[in-house]
Amino acid sequence: MGAGRIEDYALLSSTRSAALVGLDGSIDWFCAPRFDSGAMFASLLGDEENGRWRIAPTAAPSQTRRRYLDGTLVLETEFDVEQGQVRVIDLMPLGDGGAHIVRIVEGVRGEVEMTMDLVIRFDGGDRVPWVTKVDGGITAVAGDDAVVVRSPVEMHGEDRRTRATFTVGPGERVPFTLSWFASFDDPPRIDAEPELAATEERWREWSGRCTYDGPWREAVVRSLITLKALTYEPSGAIVAAPTTSLPEEIGGVRNWDYRYCWLRDATFTLYALIHGGYTAEAGAWRDWLLRAVAGDASQIQVLYGIGGERRIHEIEADWLSGFEGSRPVRLGNAAVGQLQLDVFGEIFDVLHVARRSGLSPSPAAWRLQRHLLRFVADSWQQPDSGIWEIRGDPQRFTHSRVMAWVAVDRAIRSSERFGLEGPIAEWKQLRREIHEDVCEHGYDPDRGTFVRAYGSDSLDASLLLIPLVGFLPPEDPRVQGTIEAVASELMHHGFVRRYDTEAPDADGVDGSEGVFLPASLWLADAYEQTGRRVEARQIVERVLDVRNDVGLLSEEYDPVERRMLGNFPQAFSHIALVNSASNLAQPGEGTTGHRTE
């Protein structure tokens, strides 16, 4: 098994690839050279034989503490043992385009014996490499993958792994470096101490540009650093998470690959970056989206690869036993082939917000939007798979149609505000038609709430977005009733579930799941819009309380077992936290993070 619970991990990133480090000093997940590459350390989803890199005291620690250095993604983990105290500094260097990990062991007190255990398994924890000693370390090669590991410590092979034992005293620093490289290239060489100094400086320069100055600043800055860490620097894309198949139910089958980019995250992401003062990153994200969706509207996908790749086939990695036995482990995501109408609303919304926020205009964007809008006009009444990517029969989801309305509404707003040419009268008729249809078929007057899908009795947390996207004003009785119904029926121990997974029309997947942290923050936003700021703040505080010790959030949470669930760290959770904090930052001055003007 992996080192422990999901919350036991901390993130390292080069803004090209990422790794997860456990409290026990073991790197149990590392994909290189990209976020979506095959993992060479995959024990997170299996056991030690699927790859890991552990550096820790030989004796069991009596206490372990860790922290990120302020404003950075440089991790320090301190271990107390009977013989003394030792610190392990972990980082992934920024800037050179490579996939490197630097680990520096520093003696603090006493003479502490350390053990290094390195198990390299390429291609998702499956391929055993050929290991060779080189000057100052080892290389491991299998197919097109190779790594070089260097240290002044003598390493030796044992049982298809590499081991070392060494001792550190006060003030001594022992470096280890690992670099991935293509097996047909020469192995790179990096120096640990200069990389540490440069990485600290680069992260602090970036985080020092944050302009957010409201409540919970520390949490907001940490969330923005996490979003930067999940950004693929060459393209500007932001992955939903750096992991695959961390379960939404321990032992269950709700295990998905999130190492890709979802269009529906677009506007939320843009707001979070703009709130933080990161307009260059916001522009890069907008530009990635435009490149990804370019082409025929009927071929728009809900998710793409980090470079804009379209073919993302899902397979099951049967050689991995899953996190705490949660199988299958999935590589790729079959939702790529679904029709999800809400993504068109996200595309139009993010481009409208980008124009409104002063991002440099893209002349091609408006031509693309007019093309997409013709598809929306022809398709908005179709059943689809919805925001939650159900694997059962498509339905006429209320949220999907609300977002189709958003697409038309933002086209009208952009045309009127920025003088962009279009058949506004025709669009206004379409907007009115969609609005009337949703209010007639998506609203249950007997219960006084919007419902999940036309003809359904179920609720859905996505209904909380109705006032946030401007479909109806917050004071509308139908909105008030929906907020109350969601809080009453989907609230679980102070958090919000996405929907009732046991309902007959749920999602076509067995099992249950935890509460959904972004939806909990949507409820905070809805409360803020309707003047219930105290309750809104309470929800934000509740979410802050479930962050792990280094400020990271997963996708879901089990409030009974008090443990994280789902892929980790989850961009959507951190995005929602930044936006909710921004919404509550300026009392009485309106909603800075909501999606209407």
Q: Provide the pLDDT for residue 400.
A: 97
What's the CATH number for 6-205? 2.70.98.40
Token pair 């929602």 is at which residue? 576
Distance CA 295, CA 368 (A): 8
Per-residue burial over 126-162, b if 16 or more Cβ lie within 10 Å, else e, is bbebebeeeeebbbbbbeebbbbbbbebebeeeeebb
Confidence of residue 589 (pLDDT cuts 50, 70, 90): very low
**Tokens encoding 422:** 């279009």
Is the separation of the CB atoms in 195 and 260 below 8 Å? no
Can you list the positions of beta strands (E) in 7-161? 9-13, 18-22, 26-31, 39-41, 52-57, 63-68, 75-81, 84-91, 99-110, 112-119, 130-134, 137-142, 145-150, 156-157
**What's the gap between Cα 100 and its chain centre?**
21
Distance CA 410, CA 455 (A): 28
pTM (2 d.p.): 0.96
pLDDT at residue 505 tops 80: no
pLDDT at residue 390 tops 50: yes
Q: Provide the pLDDT for residue 339.
A: 84
Nearest to 420 by CA among 411, 428, 429: 411
Length of the chain: 597
Q: Provide the pLDDT for residue 322.
A: 97
CATH topology of domain 209-583: Glycosyltransferase (1.50.10)
Distance CA 346, CA 327 (A): 32
Q: How deeply is 198 buried, as exposed, middle or buried, from its count of CB atoms within 10 A (0-12, 13-18, 19+)?
A: middle
Is the separation of the CB atoms in 578 and 272 below 8 Å? yes
Q: Provide the pLDDT for residue 1.
A: 42
What digits encode the pLDDT tens for the residues 471-492?
Answer: 999 999 999 999 999 999 999 9
**Tokens encoding 294:** 């370019």
Q: Which residue has the higher pLDDT, 300 or 34?
A: 34
Q: How many CA atoms lie within 13 A of 9 on its CB side?
A: 31
What digits encode the pLDDT tens for the residues 126-176?
Answer: 999 999 999 999 999 999 999 999 999 999 999 999 999 999 999 999 999
**Tokens encoding 73:** 């993604």
- What is the three-class DSSP state of 174? strand
Is the separation of the CB atoms in 542 and 557 below 8 Å? no
- What is the three-class DSSP state of 180? strand
Q: How many CA atoms lie within 13 A of 320 on its CB side?
A: 36
Q: Provide the pLDDT for residue 587.
A: 54
**Tokens encoding 494:** 């102070």
Is the separation of the CB atoms in 509 and 391 below 8 Å? yes
Is the separation of the CB atoms in 594 and 529 below 8 Å? yes
Q: How deeply is 47 buried, as exposed, middle or buried, from its count of CB atoms within 10 A (0-12, 13-18, 19+)?
A: middle
Distance CA 535, CA 542 (A): 11
Q: Provide the pLDDT for residue 323.
A: 97
What digits encode the pLDDT tens for the residues 172-216?
Answer: 999 999 999 999 999 999 999 999 999 999 999 999 999 999 999
What digits encode the pLDDT tens for the residues 558-573?
Answer: 999 999 999 999 999 9
Is the separation of the CB atoms in 424 and 415 below 8 Å? yes
pLDDT mean over 55-73: 98
Domain extents in the chain: 6-205, 209-583
Q: What is the mean pLDDT of the chain?
A: 94
The DSSP 8-state label assigned to residue 107 in this structure reads E
Distance CA 442, CA 459 (A): 11
